[in-house]
Structures are given as C-alpha cells and as structure tokens.
Structure 1
C-alpha cells in the first residue's frame, strides 16, 4: 500500500494552480493508493456546488475547495472525503481530507479538542476512513494536532482521544501534521511511541529525507534549520518498503510550507 500525507497550506500559497498540478502528477505517476491532506481550505464566501459520486462525504463543498480541485485533476480514479474543522485566517473553512483508490466503506469525524467552537482556531478534528483493498479492511486517519505546551488545548488531550478512536483490531494508519518534533524528549513523539504506535520511518528498508518543515512556519515562530513534525504511524509492525520525504525541492518541487511523506508497505 502506498500512502502519502501533506499539510497543503492551501489557498495560501503563491502559484497555487501549478503546485496543485505538481501534487496531482506525483499521485498519478507513483500510483499512490491513499492520500491524507491537512489544511484543506475552501473560501467561506464561495458558492456551494454539487459533487460527483467520487465524493463520499456529507459536508458542503464550495467551488474553490482544494480537495475538489485535486479530485478534478485526478479524474474519477479516487474516492474522497472532506470535513471542515474550523475557521482559518478568518475567511476559510479549514479542514482535512482523504483520497483512496479503493472503496471507502465507513467514515469517522471525531472531535479531539475540548472546544467545539468552529470559530476558535485551536479546534481539532480527525477524519478516519475504513478502506477495503482486495478483501482486506484497514483504517486511515488524517490528523492535524496541536502543541504539547498549549495551556488551552494541549496535545496530550487530543492524542488520548485519537488513540481511543483509532484502537481497532485491523491495521490502522495515522498520517499528518502532529506538531511533534521527534528530538524533544518526554513529549508528543515519545508519548505516541509509548502507546504502542510504530513510526513507519523506523521500520522502512529505504529511508530518504528527514525534516518535514524548514524555517518559520505557522505555529513555529522560531527560525530553525528543520523539524520533523509530520508522520505516518501504524498500529502493527508492517513490512515498510520505503519512507521518503517528498515535495522538498529534491524529490519534487516544494508545494507548501510543509514537505510531504510517501510511504510504501506490504499491505
């Protein structure tokens, strides 16, 4: 199974159209099975539109929805789901999305924060989908979590809720922006590992790249050479063939303030 994740920073990038095409080309060229996206935006004032059968969600889609644009470039090869989570930058419905080449048979929209105030920028939800690939059922969650030291909505509370909902007998993958630097001891990264999740980078036969963000990005004001804050986790010790950082200027052009991850395992 080939899985990709990317925090898209969508509708906030210059040259947005070409960057979206770069992402679509990568997905098609590498025949990616599942794509997890974060910061998937649509303008709150944009016109609502009807979608085709590839969209399996229940939420209203606006005409400039970033996931819709990607779906149009990919054709009818992928089923997809999208949930708006909160107001972004005062003008966007900001949410998360998942694309799958295989049937999506179930979905979960889980509130991870104490607040359910749509206008509060710290609100977080996860989107999970159950996928069937050749009679094998597995779950994938796309997530964008908060910070460890946040006094109002700390990471640990969000993680506890996600860890409970993602506790399933079948294979489960958690992919996205965890805001969890792996070099800080006794915080987010180590908490996830201690709860029994496997960092697919650690399991991979072929590893390329490390950092998933460089310099100043939203939520991390300090100038740093690089951070690893985006991950693909799994609940079982799968045979991971490869784990690559992509859209980093070396392996495909940069398309966001985050780099992407591309993982292939034996599922």
Structure 2
C-alpha cells in the first residue's frame, strides 16, 4: 500500500530522540498546517507542543494530530494549549468540513472537570461515544512516564485508562472504534496504544 505523509519535529525527548508529529494519508495531501500550542518554543524543552494537520485532496475535512500537556502543569497547562487550538481552528479555512483531532490528550475520560470534560464542553464529539460498535477503549494499560506521580494520584497513574482519542467537531456516523497495537489487536509498539475508527 502507498501513503503520502508529512512530519514535523517538535522537541528533544529523553535528551536524544527527535520527537515530532506525523500524518499518513491514502489520498494525496492537498494542504498542510502546523502550529505551536505551548508557550514554550524550545526544541530542548520536552514540554514544547505542536499540532500538525492535513487536508486530503478532494476533501473539505482537516485531520490534526495532537499531543497535549497535563491539566495541572504549572508551566504548560492543558487549558492554555486547548485555548490556543480553539482560537486557531476558528479560522474559516478549517470550517468548510469536519475537523478531526487525534492523539494523546493526557486526560482521563473518567476524571471530571478536567481536560476531557473541557473538550466535550467546547462542542467536540468523542468518536468512541458515537461508535455503534466498540471495545473497552483502553489506550494505556500500565504505569507510564508522566503519570507515575500524576497530580499525586498514584492510584490513577497505575490504572488502565483512556488517554488517546479521536474527536470531531460535527455529529458523525461512526460505525466502529477499536484500540489497536495493544497486544490483542496487533503487536504493542508504544506505551500508548492506537485508536482506529470506521466512519
């Protein structure tokens, strides 16, 4: 199979990895956008956050890959990054079709009054909730970096959780939502599992 793809570098991870964002598309990519969502724009600072988006040829939809900070981070809180995304995506060039936000939101769906609730209150739809057929949705099965001492909630850090989502800004008909690369549905390739939907 052949894909078109685009990639941007965002930060240095663990002092040695060139961490970035990538998107692959079966359709030719017509337009690409990327923007900073964190206050810091330092390649050496692991809290630097960017998002990357594509519009495939012949489509009015935009697809963005997202990596958010934590809710209670004093330097780079989730809420500030979310405001940046909301403001940027108000631009009319993104509003012709559906906007899809996909990735690691670092927010548990079962914790009230934080990132997940903020996204839903902002009018976005969780495709997992829209799906006619779905599995358990768990995208992190064990203790991982960043969640070992997350907000002092050591119990929450060790529990299975849903941190990775596909959100859309319109009411879509989602047939299936499945977690992939979790050892049950394809081999594990990361400490976060993938999410795949059929629309």
> Fold conserved (TM > 0.5)?
yes
Match of 1:96 in 2: 21
**Larger RCO, structure (CA 8 Å, separation 6 or more):** 1
1:152-184 Cα shifts (integer Å, max 9, x gaps): 000001111112223332111000000010111
Match of 1:248 in 2: 182
1:4-46 Cα shifts (integer Å, max 9, x gaps): xxxxxxxxxxxxxxxxxxxxxxxxxxxxxxxxxxxxxxxxxxx
Task: Tell me the matched-pair count.
Answer: 188
> What's the CA shift for 1:238?
0.6
Distance 1:163 1:251 in 2: 33
> What's the CA shift for 1:257?
0.8
Distance 1:89 1:224 in 2: 22
Q: Match for 1:119 among 21, 44, 49? A: 44
Residue 166 (str. 1) matches residue 89 (str. 2): yes
State the Cα RMSD in Å.
1.2
Match of 2:151 in 1: none
Distance 1:117 1:256 in 2: 25
When normalised by structure 2's length, the TM-score is 0.91
User: 1:153-192 counterparts in 2 under 5 A?
Assistant: 153-167=76-90, 168-169=94-95, 170-192=97-119
Q: Match for 2:165 among 201, 211, 231? A: 231
Q: Is the 8 A contact 2:65 2:101 kept in 1?
A: yes
Distance 2:87 2:27 in 1: 25
Match of 1:148 in 2: 71
User: 1:1-267 counterparts in 2 under 5 A?
Assistant: 77-132=2-57, 135-167=58-90, 168-169=94-95, 170-221=97-148, 222=154, 223-265=157-199
Distance 1:209 1:248 in 2: 12
Q: Is the 8 A contact 2:12 2:19 kept in 1?
A: yes
Q: Secondary structure at the match of 1:152?
A: coil
Unpaired runs of 5+ in structure 1? 1-73
